[in-house]
Amino acid sequence: MPPQETLEDAPQAQRLPVTVSITRRVDHSRLPEVTRWVQSGVNLANEHEGFLGSGWVRAHHDSDEWHMLYRFADAGTLDAWEGSDDRAEWLYEGRELVEVSRVERRTGIEGWFDQPQPGVAAAPPRWKQAITIWLGFFPLSLAFTYLTVYLVPGWHQLWPLATVLATTLCLTPTMTYVMLPFVTRMLQPWLQRPRRRGRA
């Protein structure tokens, strides 16, 4: 009998955070109901293991297409949510409010930039992505530096290697799971603004 596979034996890709991008067409005459339905889904997902956050935007005020994102810690927790009775009941409640037109799964940081809209680039230009990451990382790094200098004076000069190690270990997950989702939601209109002709 073959040995049972453990979490450590699972392929690395299965243990990466997974972002799901969904485009839903919405009944524009029932926006308050749709908004409540979407929020109830977020509340349900938040009760499930591995849920890391979500967000949704419209292309413009009168658009009937809503672009929704949600993220789980790995493929296993995502599959558990998508196969749950809670989600099945929630989808049934919204059957007359929305219609799914596109679904994509992505792993890694790029999932937060996606806009799953046919005919449009999946992500904004790299220079916009770089600015977005910097806007999240700079204040986070600055706050961490001031905090550590205040709590442990001289630590940066005494143990530079330990400083870099502690900084990257603390800031990388905070940036990935907290700051980047927040900043991209705030900058979404700018990130998804159509490119002008003649510009990259």
Tens digits of per-residue pLDDT, 37-61? 988 988 999 899 989 888 877 766 7
In b/e form, how buried is each residue of 105-118, taking b as 16+ CB within 10 angstroms?
ebbeeebbbbbbbe
148 neighbors 136 (Cβ within 8 angstroms) = no
Q: What is the pTM of this model?
A: 0.49
| Domains, the chain, with CATH or none | 12-113 (3.30.70.100), 126-191 (no CATH)
CA angle 144/150/151 to nearest 5° reads 90
Q: What would the mean pLDDT of 155-183 be, rounded to a whole number?
A: 76
Q: What would the mean pLDDT of 151-160 be, rounded to a whole number?
A: 70
**Helix extents (H) in the chain:** 31-45, 75-82, 85-93, 126-151, 155-158, 160-174, 180-186, 188-191
What are the CA-CA distances from residue 160 to residues 12, 84, 112, 168 (Å)?
A: 31, 47, 32, 12
Among 85-94, 98-107, 132-141, name the one with the lowest average pLDDT: 98-107
- Residue 169's closest CA among 151, 152, 148? 148
pLDDT above 70 for 167: yes
54 neighbors 70 (Cβ within 8 angstroms) = yes
Q: What is the mean pLDDT of the chain?
A: 75
Rg of the chain over CA atoms, in angstroms? 20
Give the pLDDT of residue 23.
84
Per the model's pLDDT, the better-predicted residue between 145 and 62 turns out to be 145
Q: What would the mean pLDDT of 128-156 be, rounded to a whole number?
A: 81
CA 141, CA 12: separation in Å to the nearest integer?
A: 28
CA 103, CA 88: separation in Å to the nearest integer?
A: 16
